[in-house]
Structure 1
């Protein structure tokens, strides 16, 4: 049992191409939903919805803005976008009561898919966003890569295991 209690995301920033600060936003990160195929037949009592190792359904990331920003239009360019979300997770040591900050970094490369411009209402937010189809995802937690999915290059690393290494080898990649 860990003596650390991860409590909250203290804060985060978003950067385009690793260095250009994008502004104040909230982010909906992608789901890791495996592609699957239903298997049935002799030797199986029923059906199994079998995940295809290393293959994932469409993944999207949505950046939610308060008002229209120049970043909306930069991210709507019809080209692959590279965005880094760098944050700090606040943990507390249950024994000592002291706090520590743990770095988290989520990198996505994605293709613009949807750019809702939001609404206009006096004295309120516009609630606009950018949605990108994710083709590359990397999550680093406390300096370690815990997820790396590269759909174009057959990479699927989850908690240190590359589930597509043998597939790449078998394909001569």
Structure 2
């Protein structure tokens, strides 16, 4: 039986647990990418090293807001601020829509405003280096990456537990 694709209906963006930044039209969820070791020989191969590369993400909103500038200032000269993305995902033929929640904490890399043109919607693109990522769909945890505490949970399995134990943490 063929699966019907899922469609995102809307995504709200919040910052620091209190600032509503609006609805995002475009959200690039961080790419999970592993460091690879290339073995050179007559039949070369790449092998996964069990180390995740640094993760980045970006999102675009249609609102220039004071909370964005406060976040940049606090982020650079204070602490990392949490962003929360809450979405509704629809799949035709199912009885209910699913909730998608993405919590990200990290460093702001860039803040970019689109060209200002008459009768054109404002677009702000914020790019983050994500140190903490928590993704859940319909209340089910899918992924947790916490660089500071060396946690990597994918599909309910903590793949860094043995590494933390080996290091005495």
TM-score, normalising length: structure 2? 0.85
Matches within 5 A, 1:92-131: 92-93=92-93, 99-131=95-127
Root-mean-square deviation (CA), in Å? 2.1
Query: Counterparts of 1:100 and 1:147 in 2: how far apart (Å)?
Result: 23
Match of 1:83 in 2: 83
Q: 1:169: Cα distance to partner?
A: 0.4
Query: Counterparts of 2:82 and 2:102 in 1: how far apart (Å)?
Result: 11
Query: Counterparts of 1:52 and 1:169 in 2: how far apart (Å)?
Result: 18
2:164 matched to 1:171? no
Residue-by-residue CA offset, 1:59-110 (whole Å, 9 max, x unaligned): 11212122422233133221412011111211233xxxx5311111111001
Match of 2:135 in 1: 139
SS in 2 for 1:71: helix
Match of 1:8 in 2: 7
Query: Counterparts of 1:102 and 1:62 in 2: how far apart (Å)?
Result: 23
Cα gap change, 1:69 to 1:19, in 2 (>3 Å): closer
Cα gap change, 1:20 to 1:30, in 2 (>3 Å): same
- The number of aligned residues is 164
Residue-by-residue CA offset, 1:112-164 (whole Å, 9 max, x unaligned): 11112332222213333111100011111111111001111111111111111
The runs of 5 or more residues in structure 1 that have no matched partner are: none
2:59 matched to 1:51? no
Query: Counterparts of 1:20 and 1:72 in 2: how far apart (Å)?
Result: 9
The runs of 5 or more residues in structure 2 that have no matched partner are: none
Task: Check the 8 A contact 1:13/1:86 in 2, yes or no.
Answer: yes
SS in 1 for 2:153: strand
Match of 2:149 among 146, 153, 168: 153
Q: 1:30: Cα distance to partner?
A: 1.1
Task: Check the 8 A contact 1:6/1:89 in 2, yes or no.
Answer: no
SS in 2 for 1:51: strand
Query: Counterparts of 2:84 and 2:15 in 1: how far apart (Å)?
Result: 7
Match of 2:31 in 1: 31
TM-score, normalising length: structure 1? 0.83
